[in-house]
Chain A
């Protein structure tokens, strides 16, 4: 499997650390309540199809990357820097 790091280019997936669903970007407010925190920390979809994951280019530039891929076809559709997504969301 190949993943494109927005900084380094296309690399073998073994250079990357896999974290899990990109839901981790959407951290609730401290007072969001138990249900929101439970969902954030524990609840994950298991889609057959397009999914957004967080990977880190750990053996490369250390960038955290949101990879959009298809769990059925194994296609990697897109990759973007998590920091860019976070800044856009914050702006």
Chain B
């Protein structure tokens, strides 16, 4: 049975934004610090570090989860997606990210990466979301700047655009 000792660092291998990565972590290292400090992926933010604010939300095996409530060693073999993996290619934004820009759904941007990762999942699971359900879902995130209204507008706009059939080439 694998027992990883507290004093040492251990190899953790997983998929990050579709690519295999491996790095070393002590058992006590949080996934937030593993992503930001060890792997240099600073798109995932850290607010409260105890599960309340949602700034650190990433997708683990396809569902939104708090990176600050996850140990790096727990994600061995998992698929992790962060905000760096949202754009279809470098220099391009996803439909949801575009909608955030259009609606000014961010001001300081501290909460944004987490909210994007949550909504990216939610709009795929619920292509035609009701406003009340979206509000309820956004309740898992704190934003101190926007008052949430533009975030909601961006999410509804993105949902509508994602439902439109793709234009013929």
Do A and B originate from a single complex? Answer: no
Chain B interface residues toward A at CB < 8 A: none
Chain A interface residues toward B at CB < 8 A: none
